Structure 1
Amino acid sequence: MTGSLEHMIIQAYADEEFNQQVGQFTVWINPATYTHEYGISHSDRQAPGSNGASPEFNKVCQETVAFELVFDATGVVPPPIPGTPIPKKGVTAPIDEFRQLAVTVNSDTHRPNFLRLIWAQLQFDCVLSKLSISYTLFRPDGTPLRARLAVSFTSFSSEVELAQEANLHSPDMTHLVTVLAGDTLPALCFRIYGSSQYYLGVAAFNRLPDFRRLRPGAQLVFPPLSGAAA
């Protein structure tokens, strides 16, 4: 219904393809703000004695999403699911439920669950990278009634998805390349591996006396990244 409150949902999956859902957590109070960070890593190619750097693209870094969750068991804030009673043990139970979903190591997969954040336009496949809990209100007996959870999530994509997104020649296979006029070893490495930083390893693998002067028609072997070029 238009105008109704839409709560953030955190779904948990046992597999990296996000097919086997094993749980779901509905946030009681939606975040007031959240940050979504992107990063690109560059290698510093500054030559000795030069006036400035010439950054060279290395890789696209993982995205991160961070926000703060407020848990309140005072009764002032109604539970996100109608009919759900206020926890008698304060915020301990819902926090344990969240930790079980996002932090605890799954006995079958031997790792914490994969997570999917869903809230309006935000859909983020990720893993929890950091959790910090601050308890701020208590009953006279010490039972915590309110807590703030600072959470950070790191994006996750399966190996298949990464390969499809990169749309590059597979770097884990051996490639045989015939040198054309104008080819340079750094440029060929970028074409094969997605980065030119491996040119010295490829030069050594092919026993090139001078990697700066490639002979047109020569054939070069580009080994898998797990091999000599790595």
Structure 2
Amino acid sequence: MPSSPVAFTAASPGGTKGSAAGAGSRPKLERAYLELRHPPADGGTGTPGPPLDTIEFQFNPKELTLAKSAKWERKTARGAKTAGPAEFTGPEPSKLTLEMFFDATGAQDSKVVTAVEKLFSCCVPTDRTHDKKAGTPPFVIFHWGGLTGFVGYISQVQAKYTLFTAGGLPIRAVCQVTLEELSAQLPGQNPTSGALAARRVHHVVTGDTLPLLAFREYGDPAAWRDIAEANGIDDPMRLRPGSTLLLPAAEELGT
């Protein structure tokens, strides 16, 4: 059976890896967020660079819209009265559209404006790539508890301010955000999977070490160097509980 157009992975039905809930207890509320990553140093679309920032949802989304399409071409033979059969020429990038709602009616401060400007900044090149004349926006990954989306970039942000202070400061906004998958299909990969290299995410818990994670993920503790490089880790002996690590695909190890 073919896989889903966009490959989301859920670590567990009740929350993230490492979270524990007793039998019959109420599931922990997980807050959705967008993880921003530096583009790869080589300017490609492979393993994302080190963490750049996060944009947290003030309220979890009510719905997620996924879209997947394909490229088809019809060739008509000379003298034929009808078009020939459609030929598949390749997949289009998957798209994820979601709504982000921000509200500051209580404090009536600039929190809403700051959040919207941060989303807009994802549609322009990062300072690092701009300085190198590469011009690449941040790589973005959607997270919601154990749910992890594809590696992509924000292709569109539409913000609608719906409430203002007496002085004209926006204190409520609804943003439509579209994430587009990066085109990096691996050899032998199911073209409908929507998966990319380095799309798995691990939430660090107390006791985690890079060699231990490498052994669990790849069966080879020596692969800790690949995890460290993918996450820009200088000191592999110090992992902060609660942080997230992007785990490279097995096909990328040693590349």
Q: TM-score range by the shorter chain?
A: 0.5 to 0.7
Relative to structure 2, which stretch is displaced further, 33-42 or 2-11?
Answer: 2-11
Deviation at 1:122, TM superposition (A): 3.9
CA distance in 2, matches of 1:109, 1:10: 20
Q: Write the deviation string for residues 103-122 of structure 1: whole angstroms up to 9, x where unpaired.
A: 24212112211111112434
Structure 2 counterpart of 1:99, from 112, 120, 140: 120
Q: TM-score, normalised by structure 2?
A: 0.54
Deviation of 1:87 after TM superposition, in Å, equals 6.5
Equivalent-residue separation in structure 2 for 1:137 and 1:164 (angstroms): 50
Flag the 1:144–1:4 CA change in 2: closer, same or farther, 3 A: same
Task: Supply the distance in 2 between the matched residues of 1:142 and 1:155 (Cα, whole angstroms).
Answer: 37
Q: Give the C-alpha shift of residue 13 in structure 1.
A: 1.0
Q: For the residues of structure 2 that align with 1:145 and 1:10, how far apart are their CA atoms?
A: 21
What does the per-residue CA deviation read over 1:129-152, in whole Å, with 9 as the maximum and x for residues that have no partner? 111111111111111111111111
**Structure 1, residues 35-68: CA drift from partner, whole Å, max 9, x if none?**
1111111111233433454001111111111122
Please tell me whether the aligned partners of residues 95 and 178 of structure 2 are also in contact (alpha carbons under 8 angstroms).
yes
Q: CA deviation at 1:153?
A: 1.1
SS at match of 1:109: helix
Q: Which protein has greater RCO, CA pairs closer than 8 Å, 6+ apart?
A: 2
Question: 1:90 offset after TM fit, Å?
Answer: 4.6
| Aligned 8 A contact 1:7 1:26 in 2 | yes
> Is residue 58 of structure 1 aligned with residue 82 of structure 2?
no
User: How much does 1:30 deviate?
Assistant: 1.7
The answer to whether 1:12 aligns with 2:33 is no
Displacement after TM superposition at 1:25 (Å): 1.4
Aligned equivalent of 1:141, options 150, 155, 167: 167
SS of aligned partner of 2:180: strand
Question: What residue identity is the alignment partner of 2:115?
Answer: P
Following the alignment from structure 1 to structure 2, what is the Cα–Cα distance between the partners of residues 51 and 103?
43
Query: Hey, what does 1:155 align to over in structure 2?
Result: 181
- The equivalent of 1:70 in structure 2 is 101
How far apart are 1:19 and its partner, in Å? 3.6
| Structure 2, unaligned runs of 5 or more | 1-20, 131-135, 192-255
Q: Of the candidates 80, 84, 93, which is equivalent to residue 49 of structure 1?
A: 80
Distance in 2 between residues matched to 1:49 and 1:104, nearest whole Å: 48
Gaps of 5+ in 1: 76-85, 168-230
Aligned counterparts of 2:48 and 2:108: Cα–Cα separation in 1:
30
Matches of 2:183 and 2:127 in 1, distance apart?
22
CA RMSD in angstroms, aligned pairs only = 2.3
Query: Does the C-alpha gap of structure 1 residues 87 and 155 become closer, same or farther in structure 2, counting only changes over 3 Å?
Result: farther
Partner of 2:60: 30
Offset from partner CA, 1:145-203 (integer Å, 9 cap, x none): 11111111110144xx5345379xxxxxxxxxxxxxxxxxxxxxxxxxxxxxxxxxxxx
Change (3 A) 1:148 1:155: same
Query: 2:9 maps to what in 1?
Result: none
- Using the TM superposition, give the Cα deviation of residue 97 of structure 1 relative to its aligned residue in structure 2, in angstroms: 2.9
TM-score by length of 1: 0.60
Contact 1:46 1:55 in 2 (8 A): no
Counterparts of 1:69 and 1:131, CA distance in 2: 10
